[in-house]
Amino acid sequence: MTPWFACTGQELLATATAEIVGRLAVAQSLRLAAEAGQTLVWTPQIEALKRLVADADGAAWTIALEYDLMRLEKRADAVIVTPKALLVLEFKTGRADPAAFAQAEDYALDLRDFHSGSRDHPIIPLVVASGAGAVDVFDPPLIWHGVLSPIATTPAALPALVAAILATAPEPFAPLDGPDWIAAPYRPVPHIVEAATLLYARNGVAAIAAARADLPNLTRTTAAIARHVDEARRLGQRRIVFVTGIPGAGKTLCGLNTVFGPARQEGAAFLTGNAPLVAVLREALARDAIERHGTKPSEARRRTKMALQNVHRFLEDNLAGTPPEHVIVFDEAQRAWDQAQATRDTLRRASRLTMSEPAHTLAIMARVPGWAVIVALIGNGQEINTGEAGLAEWGRVIAEADGLWQAIAAERVITATDPVQRLSDAPAPWLTIDPDLDLTVPVRSVTSDIGAAWVEAVLDGDAPRAAAIALAEGGVPFFVTRDLADMRAMLRGLARGLRRAGLVASSGARRLRAEGLGVEVGAADNAPDWFLRRWPDVRGSDALEVVATEYTCQGLELDVVGLAWGGDLVRDAGAWAARSFAGTRWNRVTKAQDLEFVRNTYRVLLTRARYETVVYVPAGEHSDPTRDPAQFDAVATFLLRCGARPATPVLPASDGRNRDFRDLAGCASIGFDA
């Protein structure tokens, strides 16, 4: 992304304020609808910046005005590139309030995480408020790294504040160069709600498809899907494109980009059996359309229902008809119901299905005239319930279609160790291998690329492998605490700016109610409030009062996660043991599939965070046989042996210390002997 206007400090002083305002107005007209009174806001801001440059001898600085931050759909008022540090300025006409601090800090964090020219330099967010109020005294931080805490000032006090910052900032290894910084890539990785909102509003955003472009896997996969859709349309074919990948690699992002990009003109739809995911995304898109375009709430919600559909309803509604969509994205397709589950009646309604969900999907899309594409998103290790057919059922129904459908997938679909997750046991005439359809690079985690591999080693019970992964990377963003209050305090400290924290727990962790964590988010009914509302609204996740289970949060994500470990997965005789709670006691899970469901539950919960995960392992209670302290001690000890870090109290915001996970751990070694 580029600023609307950029110049050196010398050029800023030499250019008339009215000319700069005019150029900003032209830039605005090319991007957005005109905002009444905006020119009146720019004028005092530019005058304040001119005084700053003149007083601080900033002729060589680079000044970037109205710097677009696509992930946030907002703009930083000004970014000043000095040789020692980046200054992110947010101007306010009133007092500096908590919302202004959060906004400025969020801009700075966004630059740190996604702008390659900003990663190795201090970033200082400044709230410049023209209203009366206290002016912060600059207290040099202990560590000049990353994003410092936001500082309040006034236009008159701004030059003195910046002079104090630059006087105490250490000399950088390589001074910041303004033109190089402007030209450096800005590649944001929005969370799933942000991505859906941007894609829906803009009919696809190429910059999202290129997120983390230094890791090209996501870009290749997005292009491969588009290529196969185009070929199917041009050749009049029916294709199933299987997209495989590790947790957090961007499968849902690829699917949403397909639905809301060019294929949207074909009536594309995103189908999922994940009711909370549907509810959250529908509500987020509807709210955005109402705010952005003034769409009537009823119409906004009607449109989002067409784009995001519950897969079970889609199948039942189209049993005898022909859907309008030429392209559908089937989310978590390996979890599609087998025939027994699909045809089972429930207490709420009688099933109308007669075959497995993969069989019905192919039959329905075969009736679409001309051509059709099913994009099947396949998550590894995401199976958490009975009745999930796996890839084998998709392979069976494709083979029985006698050449009507062609499948395209990466080699993983025929080499998986679990036969249920193999599309075919050998190369098949209806299957074409495309390696670009396998997502192997995690993009959910912003601070670390090895989180998924570490979680895999932990759940495999392989402490040496997990510890080696953590040691090689200088640490992992996973922390362990035995105190619930400490976990909440750490989550609030880590959730800087506008980032969101929340509590998660396994649906099988029934005895967490003794810790005061017995209240769960009510699936699809309350999930939109939990994921979209913000504190001080107590319904929001960052109130840290109720937990989301694997059924509520699968497919969604939080910036910072507090995972409450339950008694359904404990250490026993040096291995993981799964248990289910009935009546007054825990019962050992003996079936291999049920054990795998419990492990997968914790895989889902451990991979929900974009930044840090704080694991709360209860202390237990000697007088309560359902909460044996020794079992919880064994879990905590094992996680520490694997390289998780002891939770560290977050330092007060006033010291300006950057609070990403590497700094939080300080110089403490990994607890191999804990």
pLDDT at 662: 36
The confidence band for 382, taking pLDDT boundaries of 50, 70 and 90, is: low
pLDDT class of 489 with cuts at 50, 70, 90: very high
Q: For residue 85, which of 51, 48, 123 has the smallest C-alpha distance?
A: 123
Which is more confident, 473 or 476?
476
Tell me: the pLDDT tens digits for 63-86?
999 998 876 568 899 999 999 999
Give the HSE-up count for residue 122: Cα atoms under 13 Å, Cβ half-sphere: 26
Torsion sign over Cα 411, 416, 419, 420: negative
Cα distance between residue 152 and residue 154, in whole Å: 7
pLDDT at 275 over 70: yes
Res 186: pLDDT = 83
Q: Looking at residue 642, what is its pLDDT?
A: 97
Chain mean position to CA 135: 35
How sure is the predictor about 448, in pLDDT bands with cuts at 50, 70 and 90?
A: low
Other Cβ atoms within 10 Å of 82 Cβ, number:
24
- What are the backbone angles phi and psi of residue 627, rounded to the nearest 5°? -135, 65
Is it the case that residue 367 has pLDDT exceeding 80?
yes
Compute the Cα dihedral for 196, 200, 201, 203 and give only its sign. positive
d(CA 1, CA 69): 7
Strands 86-92, 74-81: pairing is antiparallel
Mean pLDDT in residue range 367-389: 80
CB atoms within 10 A of CB 664: 24
CB atoms within 10 A of CB 484: 19
Q: Which residue has the tokens 């030059």?
A: 159
Residue carrying the six token digits 């784009």: 307
Q: Mean pLDDT score of the chain, rounded to an integer?
A: 86
**HSE of 198, CA atoms in CB hemisphere, 13 A:** 21
Task: Give the closest residue to 635 by CA, choosing from 575, 592, 585, 563.
Answer: 575
- Confidence (pLDDT) at 152: 92
User: Whole-angstrom Cα distance, residue 128 to residue 106?
Assistant: 15
CA atoms within 13 A on the CB side of 302: 5
Query: Phi-psi bin for 203: left (phi > 0), alpha (psi -120 to 50), beta?
Result: left
Q: Give yes or no for a contact between 225 and 375, defined as CB atoms under 8 angstroms apart.
A: yes
Sequence letter at residue 299: E
Determine the 3-state secondary structure of 187 from DSSP: coil
Please, what's the largest Cα pairwise distance for the chain? 79
* CB atoms near residue 40 (< 10 Å): 10
d(CA 8, CA 13): 9
- What's the one-letter identity of residue 244? T
* Residues 222, 254 contacting (CB under 8 angstroms): yes
364 against 473, higher pLDDT = 364
In SS3 terms, 480-493 reads as EECCHHHHHHHHHH
Residue 304: HSE in the Cβ half-sphere, 13 Å Cα cutoff: 26
pLDDT in the model for residue 251: 86
Query: Is residue 187 pLDDT above 80, yes or no?
Result: no
Higher pLDDT: 343 or 134? It is: 343
Residue 134: name the closest of 88, 167, 96, 174 by CA: 96
- Tens of pLDDT, residue by residue over 17-61, are 999 999 999 988 887 655 656 778 999 999 999 999 999 999 999
Q: What is the mean pLDDT of residues 378-403?
A: 80
| Other CB atoms within 10 A of residue 482 CB | 17
Which helix (H) or strand (E) is 11 found in, with range?
Answer: helix 9-14
Could you count the other beta carbons within 10 Å of the beta carbon of residue 331? 25
Asked whether the beta carbons of 391 and 356 are under 8 A apart, the reply is no
E strand or H helix that includes residue 588: strand 585-588
Q: Across-strand partners of 563?
A: 504, 615
pLDDT digits (tens, 9 = 90+) for 17-26: 999 999 999 9
pLDDT bin (cut points 50, 70, 90) of residue 576 is very high
Q: 6 vs 187, which has greater pLDDT?
A: 6
Identify the DSSP state of 337: B
Query: Band of the pLDDT at 257, cuts 50, 70, 90?
Result: confident
Q: What is the CA radius of gyration of the chain?
A: 26
Rounded to a whole number of angstroms, the distance between the first and last alpha carbons of the chain is 46
The DSSP H or E segment spanning 479 is: strand 478-481
Give me the pLDDT at residue 20, please: 96
pLDDT in tens, 653-673: 433 333 343 344 332 323 323
Give the pair of three-digit tokens for residue 529. 């409030």
Task: Indicate the pairing of strand 547-548 with strand 569-572.
Answer: unpaired
What pLDDT, on a 0 to 100 scale, did the predictor assign at position 514?
95
The percentage of the chain sitting over the pLDDT mark of 70, rounded to a whole number, equals 88
- 524 pLDDT band, cuts 50/70/90, is low
Average pLDDT over residues 401-408: 94
**Beta-bridge partner residues of 270:** 308, 329
Q: Residue 646: count other Cβ atoms within 10 Å of its Cβ.
A: 14
Contact by Cβ (8 Å): 90, 126 = yes
pLDDT of residue 158: 94
- The pLDDT tens digits of the residues spanning 533-543 come to 998 899 999 99
The domain over range 217-275+307-439 is classified in CATH as 3.40.50 = yes
Is residue 5 within 8 A of residue 27, CB to CB? The reply is yes
Neighbours of 203 (CB within 10 A): 11
- What single letter denotes the amino acid at residue 24? L
Residues with Cβ within 8 Å of 143's Cβ and at least 6 positions away in sequence, in order, are 657, 658, 663
* Whole-number Å distance between alpha carbons of 598 and 653: 38
Q: Is residue 525 scored above 80 in pLDDT? A: no
- Domain residue spans of the chain: 3-183, 217-275+307-439, 451-664
User: Of residues 119 and 151, which shows the higher confidence score?
Assistant: 151
Closest by CA position to 289, among listed 196, 158, 217: 196
Give the CA dihedral 201, 315, 410, 427, nearest 10 degrees.
-160
Q: What is the pLDDT of residues 580-637, one digit of tens each?
A: 999 999 999 998 888 888 999 999 999 999 899 999 999 999 999 999 999 999 999 9
Work out whether the CA dihedral 405, 409, 411, 412 comes out positive or negative: negative
Least confident of 158-162, 184-188, 462-466, 594-598: 184-188
Which residues have CB under 8 Å from 233's CB, separation 6+? Answer: 266, 326, 371, 373
Q: What is the mean pLDDT of residues 407-412?
A: 94
Under DSSP, the state recorded for 436 is G
- Residues 134-178 have pLDDT tens digits of 677 788 887 788 899 999 999 999 999 999 999 999 988 888 999
In what helix (H) or strand (E) does residue 289 lie, and over which residues does it extend?
A: helix 275-293
- Sorted by sequence, the CB contacts under 8 Å of residue 590 that are 6+ apart come out as none
Distance of CA 450 to the CA centre of its chain: 15
Whether the pLDDT of residue 269 is over 70: the answer is yes
The pLDDT score that the predictor gives to residue 522 is 72
Q: pLDDT value at position 134? A: 63
Give the span between the Cα atoms of 68 and 14, in whole angstroms: 25
pTM, rounded to two decimals: 0.83
Question: Tokens 């000319």 label which residue?
Answer: 19
| Residue spans of beta strands (DSSP E) within 118-169 | 123-129, 151-153
